[in-house]
Structure 1
Amino acid sequence: MTGDRPPTRHVVVMGVSGAGKTTVARGISELTGLRFAEADEFHTEAHVAQMRAGIPLTDTDRWPWLRALAAWMAERHAEGVSTILTCSALKRAYRDVLRQGPADVEFLHLDGSAALIRDRLDRRVGHYMPASLLDSQRAILEHLGPDESGVVLEVAATPDELVREAVTRLRLPVRSTVAGP
């Protein structure tokens, strides 16, 4: 900690595509003031094209992407800025790379039934991740270990309920609002 600056917090909202990571992370960011980033925006154009074609990324594809995400969090940490980042972070090894940024990364795992998430993916418009990749994502998903800092929330709840529950369970400070005249 530098001077009187409060410690930073770094939360990764994780889960398979269609779990609601972006919606929940944006809601948490608005409520808490944590700086938001969407991991999908860190992918190369080639990787986006690969996924759009229904071809899952390999671990070799993912390592530089994960290191860039960890570096982004570390840079914000050095600035004294708390963050909330969306990232599938499906494997423990991926989360280990993310923890190479700031030391204390917390995870919010949005989890739910395959049927519910597949339905969401089928209705989603304008995203490159096809529903056909859901099974491959679920197959590699490694749930948070008991030594990993984080919470798991069931995605059947509404986005507002998930945001409130996440803020409560992670004990994130809610930013105060300035009252009008």
Structure 2
Amino acid sequence: MSIQNFNNNSSLNAGNSADLFLKILAVEPDPSLGEILCDMFADAGYECKVVQSCSDIIPLMESFHPDLVLIEYFLPTLNGGELCTQVKSDHRFSGVPVILYSAYPQILWSIKDYGCDEFIAKPFDLDNLLFTAEKLIVKGKEKRRFSLLADTLKNRLSYMGKFLGVKGFSAN
């Protein structure tokens, strides 16, 4: 599988069989590494999109709906930490795990400021990257599931309070 150029105007149909696969969005400026990442994730059963750079990741998130985002820290337009912050600052995508990676581990001093879920130093072991990605995807899905469950329970408790006429009842 080769790198797929991402087209902001394209969208996946709801009934498309590609929707059955977990999705990885990678921002990697090196086409060779991007192809290696795409091949590795495809072999593991993921759908993978690679872009070489972007200054606004939100349109990509809206169109592709990834289960995990993988970002090289040093990019041509802005640093990967800023893209991570865009993802984590948008309430729709804040639960999507983000892995930042770089050959310059000194960026670890500022990595917490960006809110990434994991940092991996280059060169990295592909098996370790895949293991870390799968662990974060499972953790992210569980977090979103429990958050949805908590919201549902709050709504039901609020409804029950209103239905029963309990004054001052709040599900918060």
Q: TM-score range by the shorter chain?
A: 0.3 to 0.5
TM-score where L is the length of structure 2: 0.43
Larger Rg: 2
